[in-house]
Amino acid sequence: MGRPQAYSLPDLPYGYKDLEPHMSEEQLRVHHDKHHATYVKNANAIFENLAKSRKEGTDLDTKSVLKSLAFNASGHILHSLFWPNMAAAGNGGGKPGGALGDLLEKEFGGFDRFKKEFTHAAVSAEGSGWAALTIDSLTRRPQIMQIEKHNVNVYPGFAVLMVLDVWEHAYYIDHKNMRDKFVEAFWNIANWDEVGKRLQKLL
């Protein structure tokens, strides 16, 4: 059984209305069905062009193609991590327990300090970007990344536990320009069970 040779838009692990009132159906539909789908389509088109060019022996504008692929593939990968690290309203939020809770406690001195730092990374990301909770591949210590676009300021090899999309397309329908309100709402639907499972796979 081989792996799929192209990307596909994953279904959401909840209904479109299930994140309300923290994220509206309209906001989620546009974000998932339009924005995420575009990254999938663009990345797959580049893979097809690469294959065609190799088959036909034609030259590529390598620098441009690889830059676009890094952007679109990273966009797909981050969004695919984003949807499941949210949970239906009532099933998410609160604080993580178990190994994840212990890890955050040890590194940040407590969940509240982690939340403050992650919030600041999300709110202060310049232009379009993400905040990410990651694990350092060398030390296994947690590290907050502030990603610009989908692929700038990313540390090679770090595993991603949780991401928060702070592109305007992620919140403009619900919150207009008030990114801080969106980040505040996110904490109510953070899926700590999922984030904890991602950590368990690394331990």
Which residues are at the interface with Mn ion (CB under 5 A)? 35, 165, 167, 170
Minimum CB–partner distance for residue 67 and Mn ion (Å): 19
* Closer CB to Mn ion, 35 or 120, in the complex: 35
Q: Is 191 left (phi over 0), alpha (psi -120 to 50) or beta?
A: beta
* Closer CB to Mn ion, 103 or 175, in the complex: 175
Query: CA 29 → CA 26, 74, 125, 152, 156, distances in Å?
Result: 5, 20, 24, 26, 31
* Closer CB to Mn ion, 8 or 62, in the complex: 8
Max Cα distance, the chain (Å): 57
Closest CB to Mn ion belongs to which residue? 165
* Closer CB to Mn ion, 170 or 195, in the complex: 170
Element (H, E) at 186: helix 179-186
Minimum CB–partner distance for residue 196 and Mn ion (Å): 24
Minimum CB–partner distance for residue 113 and Mn ion (Å): 27
Query: Do residues 158 and 136 make contact, with C-beta atoms less than 8 angstroms apart?
Result: yes
Minimum CB–partner distance for residue 31 and Mn ion (Å): 6
